[in-house]
């Protein structure tokens, strides 16, 4: 019986990839375990091993083909005596598999055009370059490391492996092992060590493979980095950046899928940044590295591969603590940050079709929070919905609601709605995971509720 | 460590050898199938295969008795199968279905069976070490003679909580066997790039803990060491450290491009140290089993694994109401 070889999923967030190279040709014998192709994901080039045995009857997808969806038949294996022609038109094996693992939004890269800052962070007429969030973060670190000898990067797999999520790709080559430092798996140890190094006059960038593992180190982030300047009467500031992916990726379950924005936003002495676009990722990371305070810089794995326009400037900085009006509007204010912006902007587009003109604010910095921009907007629209991925109790949205109630109570025409992830640990099962995350539909429904439509 | 004990020397019976062969083969075939289902998108997220390391858990479990507990990391499928958990329930958890051990809510890295005394399945590197130490604490508190097997990797061995655990375990003589599965890599970091103390088991000496290094590719050597460690712990003289020298054949997880080692390095271990091949040779060369006997076992294992895979596809996704259950006891 002929067997189809399907395009494999090679990472939790992979939905498609490039068939970079075939290592077998038609007529070749294939044994289980043999490497038959090289497949490029946005993170890496991976070797693809055969599971089934047989002869390559037909190669269906030529090497060099980009954007091959997971589960597409890429070749047919035949047994002795069979020919590829005997193989009936490929049945749709895709149907057998459950919905792809990735969060539903991962497929839809937000068009850069949606992002039209009311007051851009760059001069009019600046040339723009399209790049991924991943590239933007890498450029920010590289530029700051070139500019300041005391900036160094430390973390698990940041050097020789080129970064678990490839953010630090190439940095070891350029800056050497003195400044791009692979650590053992000892988060508490290297976070504390980096705080000490900051006190000693350096500017560490600490990469957590994900922020879930920063819980091992949170004592040093909070008790050591955030509080010591105060306790020392201003003698020991701590210029350090703690960065890495935060929030849910896809199907990695409860211990690997938590949004820590609200947690860190509680702490005086910390700054907390959570960019959505590549431009903000770049400009804010550069600002964070220069900041004399500890900055928790929350990235998102699903956003790493998304492309946005970034200004081409010698030294592009986005100030910490300033929100961005991503879409001006007059009927309702939607406040979000990080990946939540995906749902907020999608909802705004859909609402526009129903005649509701939403103003979407991208907070960018969670602490110190630009509440002035929110208040100003609410005074105009009189309605507010907040959108975030984290848990509902004591969420960032709760703080925004309280602030708005105190400072703009008389302007509100409806109770504020805080949309959050569901109040459950992140489930693994594909169907439950979707339900646990905040969705565009929920944003649309919440806006209709506060606008009484 | 380099030379293997022969079957005669370790005085192992035909039945015993056949059981090890069977258990190790079950793990390998199960993992190959899991890898295949991952490639098809049936399994999502992170999936860490145990292929290459089978002798470790099979040898250790050979020294266990009913009531003993075990706890490990995310690389946990093999541990569950040998602990007697149903391959169907394990595979269905991998596919996120209601028939899985955690009703589909935990996935590959987070699975548990109270009945089989399997306490996970933990996603945070090193976390299982104090947790397992606590399981041992509970048994000592209750005054029974159970022991707990705490498995962790060479990478995890650098986490501070391991040493906090060592100190308490020795201080209170807890019946805990720390099994370091030294497969020489923590993701892309070889042990040489993570520590200058080459013998991980020796670190226990600083706390007064006994231990030794074992060829983790030789199931009989593992079993012999496990029996010794178990005896020490049951006698109230624990804890004990066993550093198992082993090797993983596949990438760290399914998404690891594995550029940090050569194919030749992997190939060499497969060809010269493979644990299953080793037992197969002992069986055949010692005239303890025929090719046909082993083929029958292969067939039987294949059927078990296929049945598990079928179950994992047929079992439905959890009902949406499951989103809200089990948050509190
Ligand atoms: C606290 C923490 N830090 C980092 C990670 C990411 N991570 C998962 S497995 C792993 C490597 C662990 O290697 P080792 O302990 O040798 O176990 P092995 O995977 O070889 O079985 C890393 C860094 C994690 N899960 N938890
Ligand atoms: Mg290891």
List chain B pLDDT tens, one digit each, 329 residues: 444 554 445 568 999 999 999 999 999 999 999 999 999 999 999 999 999 999 999 999 999 999 999 999 999 999 999 999 999 999 999 999 999 999 999 999 999 999 999 999 999 999 999 999 999 999 999 999 999 999 999 999 999 999 999 999 999 999 999 999 999 999 999 999 999 988 999 999 999 999 999 999 999 999 999 999 999 999 999 999 999 999 999 999 998 988 999 999 999 999 999 999 999 999 999 999 999 999 999 999 999 999 999 999 999 999 999 999 999 99
Subunit contact B188:A253, Cβ cutoff 8 A: no
**Residues of A involved in catalysis:** 187, 256
Q: Write out the H or E segment, with its range, that includes residue B89.
A: helix B87-94
Same structural domain, A286 and A173: yes
Domain count of chain A?
Answer: 3
* Two structure tokens written together for A443: 């944003």
Nearest alpha carbon, ligand 1 atom 13: B186
Listing from the earlier edge strand, what are the strands of the sheet with A45-49? A45-49, A35-40, A16-22, A65-69
Subunit contact B189:A429, Cβ cutoff 8 A: no
Among the three residues A280, A311, A342, which one is the final residue of a domain in this structure? A311
- Domains in chain B with CATH codes: 7-307 (3.40.50.970)
Select the residue of B42, B109, B318 nearest A429 (Cβ to Cβ): B318
CA-based nearest distance A133→chain B, Å: 20
Q: What angle do CA B20, B270, B158 make, to 5 degrees?
A: 85
Please say whether the beta carbons of A141 and A289 come within 8 A.
Answer: yes
Interface residue A156 vs chain B (CB under 8 A): yes
Residue A112 placed within a domain: no
Contacting residues for B28 by C-beta, under 8 A, at least 6 apart: B51, B54, B276
Residue A105 placed within a domain: no
Task: State pLDDT tens for residues A98-124.
Answer: 444 444 344 444 333 333 445 789 999
CA of B150 relative to ligand 2 center, distance in Å: 15
Helix A440-450, helix A340-353: angle, nearest 10 = 60
Same structural domain, A304 and A337: no
Same structural domain, A304 and A341: no
Subunit contact A253:B110, Cβ cutoff 8 A: yes
Q: How far apart are CA B195 and CA B203, in angstroms?
A: 12
Same structural domain, A216 and A263: yes
Residue A201 placed within a domain: yes
Residue A378 placed within a domain: yes
The CATH number that applies at residue A187 is 3.40.50.970
For residue B294, the cross-strand partners are none
Same structural domain, A18 and A154: no
- Ligand 1 atom showing the smallest separation from residue B73 Cα: 21
Same structural domain, A181 and A328: no
Nearest by Cα to A249 from A285, A301, A185: A301
Select the residue of A6, A425, A432 nearest B318 (Cβ to Cβ): A432
Select the residue of B39, B122, B124 nearest A213 (Cβ to Cβ): B124
Residue A247 placed within a domain: yes
Residue A22 placed within a domain: yes
Q: How far apart are CA A352 and CA B242, in angstroms?
A: 64
Same structural domain, A294 and A328: no
Same structural domain, A46 and A140: no
Nearest by Cα to B8 from B218, B211, B220, B216: B220
Same structural domain, A300 and A355: no
What does DSSP assign to residue B158? G
Interface residue of A45, A182, A184 to substitute, partner B, most B CBs within 10 Å: A184
In terms of DSSP H, where are the helices of B143-208? Answer: 160-171, 191-194
Same structural domain, A299 and A380: no
- Ligand 1 atom showing the smallest separation from residue B48 Cα: 19
Among the three residues A86, A118, A136, which one is the final residue of a domain in this structure? A86
Task: State pLDDT tens for residues A342-373.
Answer: 999 999 999 999 999 999 999 999 999 999 99
Listing from the earlier edge strand, what are the strands of the sheet with A29-30? A3-6, A73-78, A54-59, A29-30
**Phi, psi (5° rounding) for residue A448?**
-65, -35
Residue A318 placed within a domain: no
Domain hosting residue A250, numbered range? 128-311
Subunit contact A435:B320, Cβ cutoff 8 A: yes
Please say whether the beta carbons of A311 and A298 come within 8 A.
Answer: no
Residues of B in contact with A41 (CB under 8 A): 255
Confidence band of A10 (pLDDT split at 50, 70, 90):
confident
Among the three residues A277, A311, A345, which one is the final residue of a domain in this structure? A311
Contacting residues for B87 by C-beta, under 8 A, at least 6 apart: B26, B30, B81, B304, B305, B307, B308
Q: How far apart are CA A132 and CA A277, in angstroms?
A: 9
CA-based nearest distance A37→chain B, Å: 13
The CATH number that applies at residue A363 is 3.40.50.920
Ligand 1 pocket member B75 (CB < 6 A): yes
Same structural domain, A404 and A305: no
The CATH number that applies at residue A61 is 2.40.50.100
Query: By CA distance, what is B123's nearest residue in A?
Result: A255
Ligand 1 pocket member A209 (CB < 6 A): yes
Residue A92 placed within a domain: no
Query: pTM here?
Result: 0.87
Same structural domain, A162 and A302: yes
pLDDT at A168 over 80: yes
Interface residue of B31, B41, B328 to substitute, partner A, most A CBs within 10 Å: B41
Nearest by Cα to A161 from A153, A150, A169, A151: A169
Interface residue of B36, B37, B39 to substitute, partner A, most A CBs within 10 Å: B39
């Amino acid at each position: 019986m002929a067997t189809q070889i399907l395009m494999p999923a090679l990472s939790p967030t992979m939905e498609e990839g490039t068939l970079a190279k075939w290592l077998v040709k038609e007529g070749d014998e294939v044994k289980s375990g043999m490497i038959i192709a090289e497949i490029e994901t946005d993170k890496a080039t991976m070797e693809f091993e055969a599971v089934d045995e047989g002869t390559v009857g037909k190669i269906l997808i030529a090497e060099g083909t980009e954007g091959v969806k997971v589960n597409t038949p890429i070749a047919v294996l035949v047994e002795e005596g069979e020919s590829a022609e005997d193989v009936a038109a490929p049945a749709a094996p895709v149907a057998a598999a459950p919905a792809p693992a990735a969060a539903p939004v991962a497929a839809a890269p937000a068009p850069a055009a949606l992002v039209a800052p009311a007051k851009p962070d760059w001069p009019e007429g600046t040339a723009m370059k399209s790049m991924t969030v991943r590239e933007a973060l890498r450029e920010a670190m590289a530029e700051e490391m070139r500019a300041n000898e005391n900036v160094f990067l430390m973390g698990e797999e940041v050097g020789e492996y080129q970064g678990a999520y490839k953010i630090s790709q190439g940095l070891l080559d350029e800056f050497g092992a003195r400044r791009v430092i692979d650590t053992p798996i000892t988060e508490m140890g290297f976070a504390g060590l980096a705080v000490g190094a900051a006190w000693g006059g350096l500017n560490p960038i600490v990469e957590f493979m994900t922020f879930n593992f920063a819980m091992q180190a949170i004592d040093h982030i909070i008790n050591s980095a955030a509080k010591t300047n105060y306790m020392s009467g201003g003698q020991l500031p701590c210029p350090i950046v703690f960065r890495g992916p935060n929030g849910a990726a896809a199907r990695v379950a409860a211990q690997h899928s938590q949004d820590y924005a609200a947690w860190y936003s509680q702490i005086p002495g910390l700054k907390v940044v959570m960019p959505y676009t590549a431009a903000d990722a770049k400009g804010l990371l550069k600002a964070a590295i220069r900041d004399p305070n500890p900055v928790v810089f929350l990235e998102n794995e699903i956003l790493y591969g998304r492309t946005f326009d970034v200004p081409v400037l010698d030294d592009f900085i986005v100030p910490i603590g300033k929100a961005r009006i991503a879409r001006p509007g007059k009927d309702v204010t939607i406040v979000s940050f990080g990946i939540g912006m995906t749902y907020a902007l999608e909802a705004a587009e859909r609402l526009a079709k129903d005649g509701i003109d939403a103003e979407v604010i991208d907070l960018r910095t969670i602490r110190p929070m630009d509440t002035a921009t929110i208040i100003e907007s609410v005074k105009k629209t009189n309605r507010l919905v907040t959108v975030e991925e984290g848990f509902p109790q004591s969420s960032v949205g709760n703080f925004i609601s309280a602030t708005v109630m105190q400072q703009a109570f008389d302007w509100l025409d409806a109770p504020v709605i805080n949309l959050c992830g569901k109040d459950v640990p992140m489930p693994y099962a594909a169907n439950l995971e979707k339900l646990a995350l905040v969705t565009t539909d929920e944003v649309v429904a919440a806006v209709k509720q506060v606008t009484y439509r | 460590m380099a030379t293997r004990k022969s079957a005669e020397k370790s005085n192992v019976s035909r039945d015993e050898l056949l059981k090890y062969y069977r258990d190790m083969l079950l793990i390998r075939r199960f993992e190959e199938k899991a890898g295949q289902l991952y490639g098809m998108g049936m399994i999502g997220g992170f999936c860490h295969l145990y292929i290459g390391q089978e002798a470790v858990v099979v040898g250790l479990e050979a020294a266990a008795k009913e009531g003993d507990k075990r706890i490990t990391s995310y690389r946990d499928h093999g541990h569950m199968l040998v602990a007697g958990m149903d391959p169907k329930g394990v595979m269905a958890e991998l596919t996120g279905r209601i028939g899985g051990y955690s009703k589909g809510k935990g996935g590959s890295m987070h699975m548990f069976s109270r009945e089989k005394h399997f306490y996970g399945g933990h996603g945070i590197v090193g976390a299982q070490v104090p947790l397992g130490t606590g399981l041992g604490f509970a048994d000592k508190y209750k005054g029974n003679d159970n022991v707990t097997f705490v498995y962790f990797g060479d990478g995890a061995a650098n986490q501070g909580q391991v040493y906090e655990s060592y100190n308490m375990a020795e201080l209170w003589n807890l019946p805990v066997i720390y099994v370091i599965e030294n497969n020489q890599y923590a993701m892309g970091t070889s042990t040489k790039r993570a520590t200058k103390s080459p013998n991980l088991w020796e670190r226990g000496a600083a706390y007064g803990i006994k231990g030794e290094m074992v060829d983790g590719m030789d199931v009989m050597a593992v079993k012999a060491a496990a029996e010794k460690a178990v005896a020490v712990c049951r006698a109230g003289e624990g804890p004990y450290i066993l550093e198992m020298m082993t090797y993983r054949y596949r990438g760290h997880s399914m998404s690891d491009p594995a550029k940090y080692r050569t194919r030749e390095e992997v190939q060499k271990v497969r060809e010269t140290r493979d644990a299953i091949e080793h037992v197969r040779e002992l069986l055949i060369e010692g005239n303890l089993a025929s090719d046909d006997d082993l083929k029958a076992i292969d067939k039987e294992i294949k059927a078990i694994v296929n049945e598990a895979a079928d179950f994992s596809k047929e079992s439905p996704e959890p009902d949406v109401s499951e989103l809200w259950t089990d948050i509190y006891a």
